[in-house]
Amino acid sequence: MKKLILLCILLSSCASKLEDDLPLNLVADSSAFIVLDFNKANYNGYAFTKNKKKYLIYGLPYVEEEKTLYIGEYNIKVKPKFFGESYIEIADTNLVTPKLSDQERASAEYLKVKKIVKKQSNQVVNDFDFIPPIDSVITSPFGKRRFINGNPRSPHMALDLRGAVGKEIFAPMAGKVVMAEEHFYGGNKIILDHGGGLFTAYSHLNKFNVEEGESVEQGAIIGFVGMTGRVTGPHLHWEVYLNQERINPELLVDLEYAQD
């Protein structure tokens, strides 16, 4: 229901609103996305066409203070949002405070991911319709402030989904595999390029079912849930990048929260 309401408002607005002029002054939450008139936005990003009119889907940054963005003719006020807090304990101290060689490795992997998500290839599809990467529940929401072994860390810029080791992971949208490799923090990690500056990433996999350079259709099995990298148990860590910003995956699929 959550996804249906969101898409109705942002993408179709019950089949009528997108045909009207969109307001030029907008207010939205941190790490959400907005739909803009493509020509007025004057930005070459992820787009779709509806009723012969072209729209841009623009990802908003995570902010801790109110920030105004200027996208073409639009003024977009991005408001901070409190997503909650998360406290976890990790026994392997090298995963919490890595030795210098591991810090250098993790830094290089981070920069490699940043370089990948800066790219913009041709869009694979003309829609913004996702399916969940696994049929599961949310165990750790997006955006929570994290404390690891009592020490503050960066916010959790992904969605954690419950899954036993070996559970199948599906491509939520058609795309191309641009990364399938093992990382220090993320363990076995896959990145899919969906074109138009939209990427999705999957971490802590047990093993891959795809290779770099391979094209996949929506629903294809790309890998299997695992507990590689920095984890406290098996799960899928799912990230979504849009115009280089990590946006909240909860806005894209209809999943419930774990009740235990």
Comparing C-alpha atoms, which of 7, 10, 71, 68 is closest to residue 38? 71
The tens digit of pLDDT for each residue in 247-259 reads: 999 999 999 999 8
Given a cut of 80, whether residue 95 has pLDDT beyond it is no
Alpha helix positions (H), the chain:
2-7, 13-16, 38-41, 93-96, 100-117
- pTM of the entire structure? 0.91
- The partner residues of 215 in beta bridges, in order of sequence, read 176
Distance in angstroms (rounded) separating the CA atoms of residues 210 and 192: 11
Overall fold of domain 85-251 = Glucose Permease (Domain IIA) (2.70.70)
Beta sheet of 145-148, edge-to-edge order: 85-88, 145-148, 151-153
Given a cut of 80, whether residue 229 has pLDDT beyond it is yes
Average pLDDT, the chain: 91
Average pLDDT over residues 116-120: 97
- Which tokens sit at 244? 């280089």
Report residue 186's pLDDT band, with 50, 70 and 90 as the boundaries: very high
Q: What is the SS3 string spanning 79-126?
A: ECCCCCEEEECCCCHHHHCCCHHHHHHHHHHHHHHHHHHCCCCCCCCC
Domain range summary for the chain, segments of one domain joined by +: 2-79, 85-251
Among 83-92, 217-226, 243-252, which stretch is predicted with the lowest mean pLDDT? 83-92
Residue 96: what pLDDT? Answer: 78
Average pLDDT over residues 103-125: 97
